[in-house]
Every structure is written in structure tokens, then in C-alpha cells.
Chains A and B, each alone.
Chain A
């Protein structure tokens, strides 16, 4: 599997060369961590009203078990892909943009998940072992984002720095039929971005990509390929 695209974070560091492809995502600032300008923080917008607390004041646990209509999300995601596709020059570019969008979600998911799990704990802990991090992504992150655990974690036989998370039927791709001339495209690059952000947030920098690996029983089966940076493996050696 080839990695033609540069690491997505590089597009932020050297933004000058990438500005044309990233500016539609964050028109005002150049980093992927930028918050959208939030007027409600300073001047309560008319939507928030006097009786309704604005979104930043709401209790984070209120939406813990909340669910989103999958049809509404399917339309939104479809529109995101159409919007992005109009502004990129190829499949690699499209996947990188979806990855960037997922990254913004992943960093928030991680923060929220840890806050909910450890926030009230007397001895909050943080995962530092690679395997437990992978298991956490496979089970907890997937549950938080998709409402179900992923189907498998595998370790690459050839490359010790590669791990794979496999989803037999990714909910975000359920209604998407990729045309034949774009068959390498995997819309789960969005999920790859989420995984990458979670790994990054836990200091396991990695390059994460998504690949279609259909089998007869699951035509939508998708593999999220995690290629860890060398430093992670070296640290893992030391921790043993």
C-alpha cells in the first residue's frame, strides 16, 4: 500500500504551499485546530436567548447517550463529500481533506471521552501502552462515534509498525457507492482522521489511512491502517 500523500499535519506546518486546498475548511485561520469564530462566547447570539444557556455552558454529560439520526448524518456526509470533491484535484487530495475533517472530530472525541470516563475518578489514568490504546480505539472510540465496536484489530505480518482496525460495515459508508473509476477512494478516510487524532492526542503519532478490503460477505469491509512513527515503537521497547 503506497502513501503518496504527505502527512496531513505537514499541510498545516507548511501552509503556504497548501493554502489552496485547505483554505475552504478554515477560511480565517490556517491550523486544523482552529475553532470556528464563536461569537456566542462573548456576545450571546440571539439564538441562545436569555433562558437557553449557550452551547459552551451546557452540561457535557447531557448528551452522553444521545443519538443522531443516521439518515440526517448520511445526507450531511454526502454533502460534505460533494463539497470537498469540488475543491480538490484528485482522490489522494480528497482523502486527505476527509482525513483533516475527521481529525477535528477525533481530537474532540478523545477529550470528551476521557473527561467522561476519568473526569470524576479519584485516580484518573491515561493509557500509555500501545496495545491498550488500540483496544480503546477499537471498542470505546468506535462506540462513542458509531455506536458499536469495530470488528477486529490485526497486526501486520510484514511490518511491525503497522496495525489494522477492521470494520465490516462502516455506518458512514452504508449508502455510498463509489463509482468504478474512483475505486481506490475510501470515504472512511474520515474515520482514519478520527483515529489519527486520538492517537496523536495520546502521543502516539501515526499516519492513518483507510482502504477498501471487500470480502464476499461484507462488500463494504474497510481496513483502517495505522502506521506508527518510529519513536512510538522505540518508546514501547523501553516500557517493556
Chain B
């Protein structure tokens, strides 16, 4: 099980946090990451509108040939995205813990402006402790 990368997307579709852990992903510039996050936000909106069985919370997992992309949507509209290997089974629990850490280290930090990029040492440290190098 490998965790490649973590993204946090704000409710407007902007990428506010992006961090790579294990090697293996194609290297992209920060601008390209922003575009991809915006696109994912759009795809998420489409999937939640398309649902045939009433309301839906939108896409949760996108599987590709070599990796999968797990999405956790919070009630406030913030999205946590975890890029992992296909074999990974505990992405959901990692995302839930990331959300916990986000609530503690970001939302309770007076020096963070909501919806803006996350620059908080506490968040970085605790995410580092949680995921480490991404190999489990």
C-alpha cells in the first residue's frame, strides 16, 4: 500500500494544500496541480448532479490502471483527496484522520484565513506523522 499524494480542495474548487509522499507520480508544476484540482472539482459536481437515485455526495473513488484517487467530501464542501496505490484499503480511515488534523491544526489556528492556501507548521508536522513516507 502506497500513499502518493494528498490534496485539499476548498469549496470553490481551489487547491489549498498539496503534498507528495511516495515517489512514482508524474512530476507536475504547481500550476498544473491547480488546474487538475479545479477539474476534479468539476467532475465531482457533475457526478453529484447525475445521480439517478436522488441526491448524491458525488464521486468517492476514481480507479485508474496504476493508482486510485479517493475523495472525502465534508459537509462544508471542503474535499480531501488521497492518491494511493490500487491495493490500498485504508484510504478512508486516513482521510478521516486528515480531516481531524485539519479541524485541529488549521481551523483552530488564528493565523489561517479560511479558503486560502494552508501554511501551518502544525498541520505539516501532523500530516507527516500520519502518512510519513507513504509506505505502509
**Residues of A with Cβ closer than 8 Å to B?**
71, 74-75, 77-82, 85, 175-179, 182, 187, 219
Contacts and interface: CB of A to CB of B under 8 A. Distances in A.
B110 interface: yes
B104 A179 contact: no
23 contacts: A71-B108, A74-B104, A75-B107, A75-B108, A78-B108, A78-B109, A80-B110, A81-B110, A82-B110, A85-B110, A175-B104, A175-B109, A176-B109, A176-B110, A176-B111, A176-B122, A177-B109, A177-B111, A177-B120, A177-B121, A177-B122, A179-B111, A219-B125
Contacts of B109: 78, 175-177
Given A79-B110, A81-B110, A85-B110, A179 B122 contact: no
B129 to A, nearest CB: 12
A82 B104 CA distance: 16
Contacts of B121: 177
B112 to A, nearest CB: 8
* A interface secondary structure, majority: helix
B110 to A, nearest CB: 4
Given A85-B110, A175-B122, A178-B111, 15 more contacts: A74-B104, A74-B108, A77-B110, A78-B110, A80-B110, A81-B110, A82-B110, A175-B105, A175-B109, A176-B122, A177-B111, A177-B120, A177-B122, A179-B111, A219-B125
Q: Which of A77, A81, A175, A219 has the most CB of B within 10 A?
A: A175
A221 B112 CA distance: 21
Contacts of A75: 107-108
B108 A175 contact: yes
B119 interface: yes
Which 7 A-B pairs have CB atoms at the shortest separation, nearest pair first? A81-B110, A175-B108, A78-B110, A177-B122, A74-B108, A177-B120, A177-B121
Interface in B95-136: 104-105, 107-111, 119-123, 125
A179 B119 CA distance: 8
